[in-house]
Amino acid sequence: MRLKPSPLTRSSTKSRALLFALFLLAFSLVFLLFSLTRNPYSDPYPYRNPTDKPETSFVTSLEHFLTQKSERLLSARDDTVSAASEEDVRRFDDLIFKNERQRVYSDSYYPLSLPVKVYVYEMPRKFTYDLLWLFRNTYKDTSNLTSNGSPVHRLIEQHSIDYWLWADLIAPESERLLKNVVRVHRQEEADLFYIPIFTTISFFLMEKQQCKALYREALKWVTDQPAWKRSEGRDHILPVHHPWSFKSVRRYMKNAIWLLPDMDSTGNWYKPGQVSLEKDLILPYVPNVDFCDAKCVSESESKRSTLLFFRGRLKRNAGGKIRAKLVAELSGAEDVVIEEGTTGEGGRAAAQNGMRRSIFCLSPAGDTPSSARLFDAIVSGCIPVIVSDELELPFEGILDYRKIALFVSSSDALQPGWLLKFLRAIRPAQIREMQRNLVQYSRHFLYSHPAQPLGPEDFVWRMIAGKLINIKLHSRRSQRVVKESRSICTCECRRANITSTALLS
């Protein structure tokens, strides 16, 4: 027979339930308070163990890579070939068709939801490891300067995107954190092909003729591959992040996806038809100063007594001529610091100190529309004031730069008194909001190994994934369009036709 619970038992049960409910409520309130008071942007790498933080120094990361990882990675081999005949290209194209047909007819096929599959060419050591060792063995030689006084090794670090991307791609899958890109070891499985030649290192550290010879060898090696011949390079990724690098042969690889510091629409560095936002990608420079996190920005707020700061070369060529005009306009103004300087070790410390003591950092065009100074300002918590009419920005399909930077036209900036009046009129609340946004955005410009989700390496593949269908379109179309068709006319030939018509009329 089932016994009814006594009133005392029922009371005890209700008490325990009430206590448990109160405990849950208290726990929820503590969790809510913690969530509200915790700054989610205090550290771009929220690791429990500080030793787990990724390495963001190029020199330190490269040292570890070469001395502890490179020999193990060298043992991995893939199916790269030394040369390809027309029959090799046809067979390769058939394999591509077979794999893509299976993917298209798969129930789960949706291109934008799949990781990008990248094949990394196994190029001879002289194009890859030997160039990294060359930098590693000579980077302490700071007497090696460019014509404008900048240490070449510092410039190589600023443009070292080819190392960071390659080091992530070839790392063992168990050590990688990025999930939107995978390395494949069979060419027919690939969406894209990565060309791992270190163009900036070779340009700055090799003799001119030796460098040109290396570029010609690299060109022949890559263009002999069946994948290149099939698409004429349209699905190949070429890192040319310094505008001087690979210059002697890059016109033969203009169909490839170039990884660039900017578009340089002035025509001083890239010829018409070589670069475009449709096929190429803008990548940020590697910052030259240390990251100033939320705690650093908060502590430096009261010390930011300078309204506007600039340190760098005051006279530049081409599009950078506006610098001299801005210097003439701003020199001697109250709360403004304008300094001549280069990117040496002393200059680095001076720039970092100046940016952390300033509210706004001037970012005018250099020899090209872009400048590493923009990214130094971002990671320093200093609001960039961009005076570069032709500038294209990294990852602008993902990031809204209006939240962290001010954009000023050259004509406005050069009007007497206009720029300082504009800056002084900005409300303190807007300044604080932009500084908080700078802390949040900084993680998108910090290269590291291992590469981090939401870092620049991650954004590269997110941006390329958005281009992938268009890349395939142009690759396939190039295979079937009749060679004599006017529809394949390039920008150069259109310009030539227009010129010829004008001369005849």
Contact predicate 307/421, CB 8 Å: no
CB atoms within 10 A of CB 383: 25
Q: What is the rounded CA–CA span in Å between residue 447 and residue 455?
A: 7
Contact predicate 456/464, CB 8 Å: no
Average of pLDDT values for 333-355?
Answer: 85
Where is 475: in which H helix or E strand?
Answer: helix 456-480
Q: What is the pLDDT of residues 109-168, one digit of tens each?
A: 555 567 999 999 999 999 999 999 999 998 877 667 776 667 888 889 999 999 999 999
Average of pLDDT values for 5-18?
Answer: 57
Contact predicate 200/242, CB 8 Å: yes
Q: pLDDT at residue 211 above 70?
A: yes
Average of pLDDT values for 495-505?
Answer: 41
Structure tokens given for 371: 């400048």
Average of pLDDT values for 293-306?
Answer: 92
Angle value at C-alpha 443, between 356 and 467, nearest 5 degrees = 130
- Neighbouring residues of 476: CB distance < 8 A, sequence distance ≥ 6: none
Question: Tokens 């890109």 label which residue?
Answer: 181
Q: Pick from 464, 449, 450, 451: which is nearest to 395 by CA?
A: 464
CA torsion through residues 469, 471, 476, 480, sign: positive
Q: What is the pLDDT of residues 325-337, one digit of tens each?
A: 888 888 888 999 9
Local structure of 194: helix, strand or coil: strand
Q: Is the peptide bond before 450 cis (omega within 30 degrees of 0)?
A: yes
Q: How far is CA 421 from CA 22, 415, 447, in A?
A: 57, 11, 36
pTM of the model: 0.81
pLDDT attached to residue 479:
77
